[in-house]
């Protein structure tokens, strides 16, 4: 069937609520309003206010409540409207959810799923356009995933709900309106493995979330110059499936990492280091990175587009590697 990323996420939420009575959704405007991005539209009418809970405007409060509910045996799905608001709950996420299993000597799991919208490209200016996935991917004790396809939008959530430890799901805001075909029986998907979305022989483009589509478009554009690019979708950002992208680079001998985060201290830096540590002698050129310009995200559309990684930037970086 033809569906959108938004509808696939909604189907995943509905499926989790149906499958397990312990699952409930909570967050700002998830109920009566149907979610800031309309992902949870209609779920309040279907499941009622006990299981689709509107919360006050207090990220520290309702994320903390979700952690407490998880400790109490529930399976909460907590929606944080956009990633910048998650900064108001960093203590709860980083200092509690991520550490309690360790600090309790393995006695207390925290099976909470925290969903948040990430990324720029929608003229939401500097305060609502962050890509902070690298912050959370830095922290032991949590799993970080970034569904970039309809299948993953539909299938990753239930796998995350079943995880005994905290999972953060980053949904890129530019993906919600994307559409395509999704199997009627689409179900849970793997959270442990990256995926090769396009096979190739001449270089590897590594992307995730909102940058995957741009990487695929760049790979298509490169064919005009006789360059056959492989595209790897990371899917899970912590723990990284290093084996998949390293194996790809050992075959193609060149790599371009596409990351909407800022270049300094980014996921692209970690991936570059992993390639250098594990496949240095297979490289025919240094690892290239295409990242956002290191400025607060502009509001004006032409400036926002200039600040973000774009297809021509990826193509240019690939061509500079030679071969």
Report the C-alpha gap between 29 and 33 in whole angstroms: 5
128 is catalytic: yes
Report the C-alpha gap between 184 and 1 in whole angstroms: 6
**239 inside domain:** yes
**72 inside domain:** yes
| Cβ-based neighbours of 48, under 8 Å, separated by 6 or more | none
State whether 170 and 201 are in the same domain. Answer: no
pLDDT digits (tens, 9 = 90+) for 149-205: 999 999 999 999 999 999 999 999 999 999 999 987 787 898 999 999 999 999 999
Q: Which of 181, 215, 237 is the last residue of a domain?
A: 181
The residue-averaged pLDDT of 135-141 equals 98
State whether 202 and 316 are in the same domain. Answer: yes
| Cβ-based neighbours of 3, under 8 Å, separated by 6 or more | 11, 150, 179, 180, 181, 182
**188 inside domain:** no
**49 inside domain:** yes
Q: Tokens for 84?
A: 């910048």
State whether 17 and 143 are in the same domain. Answer: yes
**Which CATH number do you get for residue 137?**
3.40.50.970
State whether 17 and 98 are in the same domain. Answer: yes
State whether 209 and 253 are in the same domain. Answer: yes
State whether 228 and 279 are in the same domain. Answer: yes
Q: Give me the percent of the chain exceeding a pLDDT of 90.
A: 97
Report the C-alpha gap between 296 and 279 in whole angstroms: 34
Parent domain of 287: 195-320
**Which CATH number do you get for residue 244?**
3.40.50.920
pLDDT of residue 323: 62
Domain count, the chain: 2
pLDDT digits (tens, 9 = 90+) for 234-291: 999 999 999 999 999 999 999 999 999 999 999 999 999 999 999 999 999 999 999 9
* pLDDT > 90? residue 322: no
State whether 84 and 167 are in the same domain. Answer: yes
State whether 135 and 174 are in the same domain. Answer: yes
State whether 81 and 228 are in the same domain. Answer: no
Q: Which of 135, 154, 181 is the last residue of a domain?
A: 181
| Identified catalytic residue from 7, 28, 128, 247 | 128
270 is catalytic: no
pLDDT digits (tens, 9 = 90+) for 36-58: 999 999 999 999 999 999 999 99
Which string of b and e fits 72-90 if b means at least 16 CB within 10 Å? eebbbbbbbbbbbbbeebe
| Cβ-based neighbours of 287, under 8 Å, separated by 6 or more | 255, 256, 257, 271, 272, 275, 276
pTM equals 0.96
pLDDT digits (tens, 9 = 90+) for 284-312: 999 999 999 999 999 999 999 999 999 99
Q: Which of 155, 181, 207 is the last residue of a domain?
A: 181
| Identified catalytic residue from 28, 59, 247, 260 | 59
CB 232 within 8 A of CB 196: yes
């Amino acid at each position: 069937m033809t569906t959108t990323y938004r509808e696939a996420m909604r189907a995943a939420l509905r499926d989790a609520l149906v499958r397990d009575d312990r699952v409930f959704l909570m967050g700002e405007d998830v109920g009566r309003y149907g979610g800031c991005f309309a992902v949870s539209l209609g779920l309040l009418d279907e499941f009622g206010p006990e299981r689709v809970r509107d919360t006050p405007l207090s990220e520290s409060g309702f994320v903390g409540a979700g952690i407490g509910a998880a400790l109490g045996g529930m399976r909460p799905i907590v929606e944080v409207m956009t990633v910048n608001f998650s900064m108001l709950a960093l203590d709860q996420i980083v200092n509690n959810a991520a550490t309690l299993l360790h600090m309790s000597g393995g006695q207390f799991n925290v099976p909470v799923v925290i969903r948040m919208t990430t990324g720029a490209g929608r003229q939401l200016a500097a305060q609502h356009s962050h890509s902070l996935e690298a912050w959370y991917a830095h922290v032991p004790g949590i799993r970080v995933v970034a569904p970039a396809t309809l299948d993953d939008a539909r299938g990753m959530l239930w796998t995350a709900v079943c995880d005994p430890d905290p999972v953060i799901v980053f949904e890129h805001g530019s993906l919600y309106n994307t559409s395509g075909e999704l199997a009627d029986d689409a179900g849970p998907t793997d959270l442990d493995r990256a995926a090769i979305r396009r096979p190739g022989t001449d270089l590897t483009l590594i992307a995730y979330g909102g940058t995957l589509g741009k990487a695929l478009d760049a790979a298509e554009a490169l064919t005009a110059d006789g360059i056959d690019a492989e595209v790897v979708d990371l899917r899970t950002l912590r723990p990284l499936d290093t084996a998949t992208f390293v194996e790809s680079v050992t075959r193609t001998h060149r790599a371009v990492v596409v990351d909407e985060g800022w270049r300094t201290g980014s996921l692209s830096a970690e991936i570059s280091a992993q390639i250098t540590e594990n496949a240095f002698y297979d490289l025919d050129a240094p690892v290239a990175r295409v990242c956002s310009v290191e400025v607060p995200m502009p509001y004006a559309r032409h400036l926002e587009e200039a600040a973000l990684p774009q297809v021509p930037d990826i193509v240019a970086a690939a061509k500079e590697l030679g071969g």
